[in-house]
Amino acid sequence: MADDRVIAALDIGTSTVVVAIADRDDDGKLEVVGLGTAPSHGLRRGVVINIEATLRSVAAAVEAAEQMAGREISGVITGIAGGHIEGLNSRGVVAVTGKGREITEDDIDRVIDAAKAVVIPMDREVIHVIPQEFVVDEQGGIKNPLDMIGVRLEAEVHIITGSVTSAQNLVKCVNRAGFKVNDIVLQSLAAARAVLTDDEKELGVLLIDLGGGTTDILMYREGAPFYTSVLPVGGAQVTGDLSIMLKTPTESAEMIKHEAGCCYMPLVEPGEPVIIPGVGGRPPASIARDELCRIIEPRMAEIYTMVREKIEPKGYLRHLGAGVVLTGGGALLPGAVELAQDVFETSVRIGQPGNLGGIGSVYQSPEYSTVIGLALHAAAGADAEPTVAVDKSGAGILPGLMRWFRNFFE
C-alpha cells in the first residue's frame, strides 16, 4: 500500500531527467529525502520522440532517487512542457442564483465553466484553468467571491492548453517504466511555485525557465498567471554553436560551456586560455575565453530578445514591477543575469528553491526549480492557490485524457 506521506516528483527535461522524493508531515510541510538525475534521451524540445529511450532515462533517475531516499515509490507527479503549450485569457459571465443573491460554490463553478468555454482544436485539451480575478456587479479585483452578495458574477481566467498526444506519450513512458502518473502540471507553473514570492506575483514578474531544449515563459500580474508561452530554443542551441565553431563533439562542447562558458563579455578577462580536447587522436587546442564568449553571447541574447518580442508588442513590459526571474539550468551560465538586464532593461535575479531540509542544499539550484515545485504542488493539494484545472474529475489532469489513462493503463 502506497504511503501518502511520500511524494515523488518527476521532471522530464530535454537534457536531464530529475526525480525528487520528499516526506510530508501532517501540516503538509515537505522534507526532501532523495534526488536522482539521469541524462535525458528520447526527447526533442520538450516532447517525447522515442518512448523506449525516455522510459530508460526515467527508470534510471527514479532508481537513483530511491537509493538516496532508502524507499520505493509507485506514483509520481510529473510536469509537461514543449512548444505545443499555449496560453490564453478568457472571461465568463453568469447571473447569481443563490438564495438572497449570495454567491455560492455552484455560482463560482458555473462562471468558470462559462469562462473556459472557448473553441480549441480537436487535437488539444485544456490542462489548467486558473482564475485571475472575479468581478461582482462591476466591482473587480476580487480573489474569492464566495458568500458575497451580488446579481452579476464575472470571472477572468488564464487557460493553458496542450497537445493531447504529447501528454499521452509522456504518461505512456512513465507507466511503462513501472510508475503511475498521479498528476500533470505545467512545468513553468511548478517552477514559479518554487522560486517566486507572493509579492513578486502581485507586482508583476516574468519567469524565464532556461531549459535544454525549450525556454518557458510565464508572466504573473496581480497575483495570477497572465501570459504563458514556450520557445523551441534553449541551452542545447548554445552547445550546438560551440560544437560547430570549435569543431568538437557535443559532449566536449557541453563540458566547455559548463566549465568556462560566459555570456556577458564585460565579465571575461581577455586572453584567458580554455583547453579544447583533441578529436580523433589530434592534440588538444586552446582558445581565449573571450572568443568563447563571442560564440555564446549572441545566442543567449537572441533567446532573451525572442522572449522580449513575445511580450513587448502586447504592452506587458510595463507591468513587470518585480522585474525578471531566471531559472532552469541555463540560469547557471555566468553572465546570464547581466545580459538579461541589458535586454529587458529591468531588474533580474536568479530563482532557486528555498531550503526544505532533508538532504541539505543539494536541490537549492535553478536546475531543480521545476522538480521541487512539482513536489510543493503535490504537498499543497487542495489548499494550494488555483493552479490546476477546475474540472474536479480530472484532479488537475486533462479531463478527457485522464479517462484515457484509466482505460488504457489500468
For residues 303 and 235, give the distance between their C-alpha atoms in angstroms, rounded to a whole number: 10
pLDDT category of residue 71 using cuts at 50, 70 and 90 = confident
pLDDT in tens, 127-162: 899 999 999 998 988 999 998 999 999 999 999 998
Q: State yes or no: pLDDT of 384 exceeds 70.
A: no
**Which of 86-90, 166-170, 396-400 has the least mean pLDDT?**
396-400
Residue 379 — very low, low, confident or very high, per pLDDT cuts 50/70/90?
Answer: confident
Q: Which helix (H) or strand (E) holds 295?
A: helix 289-311
Kindly indicate the confidence band of residue 344, based on its pLDDT and cuts at 50, 70 and 90: very high
Measured over the CA atoms of residue 171, residue 43, residue 367 and residue 349, the dihedral's sign is negative
**Residues 41, 14, 391, CA angle at the centre, nearest 5°?**
115
Which position has the higher pLDDT, 122 or 238?
238
Instruction: Determine the pLDDT at residue 385.
Output: 44
Give pLDDT, residue 387.
36
**Cβ distance 365 to 350 under 8 Å?**
no
pLDDT, residue 3, reads 59
**Is the predicted pLDDT of residue 394 greater than 90, yes or no?**
no
DSSP string, 173-241: HHHHTT-EEEEEEEHHHHHHHHH--HHHHHH-EEEEEE-SS-EEEEEEETTEEEEEEEES--HHHHHHH
Asked if the model's pLDDT at residue 407 lies above 50, the reply is no
Tell me the CA distances in angstroms from 169 to 46, 110, 189, 222, 323, one per residue in order. 12, 32, 21, 35, 36
Which H/E stretch holds residue 124? strand 124-136
CA distances from 42 to 14, 50, 51, 117, 219 (A): 8, 4, 6, 35, 29
Query: Hey, what domains does the chain have and what are their CATH numbers?
Result: 86-161 (3.30.1490.110), 197-350 (3.30.420.40)
DSSP 98: S
Q: Cα separation of 305 and 300, whole Å?
A: 9
Per this entry, what is the length of the chain?
Answer: 410
pLDDT score at 278: 80
Four-residue CA torsion sign, 316, 317, 318, 320: positive
pLDDT above 70 coverage of the chain, percent: 92
What is the pLDDT, as a whole number, of residue 28? 67
3-class DSSP assignment, residue 259 = helix
**Alpha-carbon Rg for the chain in angstroms:** 22
Over residues 242-256, mean pLDDT? 92
∠ CA(190), CA(181), CA(329), 5° rounding?
A: 35
pLDDT for 391 beyond 90: no
Residues 274-332: tens digit of each pLDDT: 888 888 778 888 899 999 999 999 999 999 999 999 999 888 899 999 999 999 999 99
pLDDT band at 266 (very low <50, low <70, confident <90, very high): very high
**What mean pLDDT comes out for the span 76-97?**
90
Q: Choose between 374 and 177: higher pLDDT.
A: 374
The single residue listed with the C-alpha cell 536522482 is 36
Residue 168 region, left (φ>0) first, then alpha (ψ -120 to 50), else beta? alpha
Q: What are phi and psi of 194, to 5 degrees?
A: -85, -25
- Give the DSSP per-residue string, 316-374: GGGG-TT-EEEESGGGGSTTHHHHHHHHH-S-EEE------SBSTTTT-SGGGHHHHHH
Ramachandran angles phi, psi of 400, nearest 5°? -65, -35
Interval 204-230 mean pLDDT: 93
Q: Is the pLDDT of residue 20 over 60?
A: yes
CA distance 161 to 186: 10
**Does residue 278 contact residue 249 with C-beta atoms inside 8 Å?**
no
Return the amino acid letter for 48: V
What mean pLDDT is reported for the chain? Answer: 86
Percent of the chain with pLDDT over 90: 56
Phi, psi of 215 (to 5 degrees): -120, 115
What number is the average pLDDT over the span 324-352? 95
